[in-house]
Amino acid sequence: MATAPELLGSGQEAVRAMRDADVPDVVAIERASYQFPWSEGIFRDCLRVGYTCRVAALGRQVAGYGVMSVGAGEAHILNLCVGESFRCRGLGARLLKLLVERAAAAGMGEAFLEVRPSNTAAIRLYLAHGFEQVGMRRGYYQAVGGREDAAVLRLGLRALRTRTS
């Protein structure tokens, strides 16, 4: 039987709504990926309040996830993460594209996210999808021995809406 990473590219990967039952798998990826991970309760709250929560699944295996809030004309991508053994195979890009398309379809004019300036992989992904840095939040993130700034990135969605409508 194929292992989950072998299912990549086999047509058995799908991006679908996150369910309560996915949260333990999501939290395991989260803990392995970040020094200061979200708690299980944060993911459950995101589901409860109706944020856009998606998982990239390979068969029954959760490989990555994205969480976004939408409202007042703006989408905020709050988390985007792919399990280490599934990275660099296009899943992060697929999740991001889906979130952006969903925000545009919901009528949002722009999408924002924060990223650590040291996170070159994520920054390359966002820039490749048209995001541009519009600011810096000083001391936004927890970091070992202090705080780390966050780069604020923005993507205009109106042009995307025109293109996709």
Ligand X SMILES: CC(C)(COP(=O)(O)OP(=O)(O)OC[C@H]1O[C@@H](n2cnc3c(N)ncnc32)[C@H](O)[C@@H]1OP(=O)(O)O)[C@@H](O)C(=O)NCCC(=O)NCCS
Burial bucket for residue 54 (CB in 10 Å: 0-12, 13-18, 19+)? buried
The token duo for 55 is 């998982």
Query: For ligand X, what does the binding mask look like between residues 118 and 137, x meaning CB under 6 A?
Result: -xxxx-xx--x---------
14 burial level (CB within 10 Å; 0-12, 13-18, 19+): exposed
The piece of 36-44, 83-91, 97-105, 155-163 that touches ligand X (CB under 6 A) is 83-91
Q: Which stretch binds ligand X (CB under 6 A): 18-26, 44-52, 113-121, 140-148?
A: 113-121
156, 103 Cβ separation under 8 angstroms: no
Q: How many CB atoms lie within 10 A of CB 45?
A: 12
Between 104 and 148, CB nearer to ligand X:
148
Min dist CB 33 to ligand X, Å, is: 4
Q: Which stretch binds ligand X (CB under 6 A): 19-27, 80-88, 101-109, 133-141?
A: 80-88
H or E segment to which residue 45 belongs:
helix 40-48
- Amino acid identity for residue 164 in this structure: T
- Quick check: 31 and 37 in contact, CB under 8 A? yes
Q: Which residue is nearest to ligand X (CB)?
A: 92
Using CB under 6 A as the binding rule, the residues of this chain from 1 to 40 that contact ligand X are 33
Q: Which stretch binds ligand X (CB under 6 A): 12-20, 40-48, 81-89, 131-139?
A: 81-89
d(CA 70, CA 48): 14
Cβ-contact 101, 165 below 8 angstroms: no
Among 42, 59, 87, 109, binds ligand X (CB under 6 A): 87
x/- track of binding to ligand X for residues 35-64 (CB under 6 A):
------------------------------
Interface residues toward ligand X, by CB under 6 A: 33, 80-82, 87-93, 115, 119-122, 124-125, 128
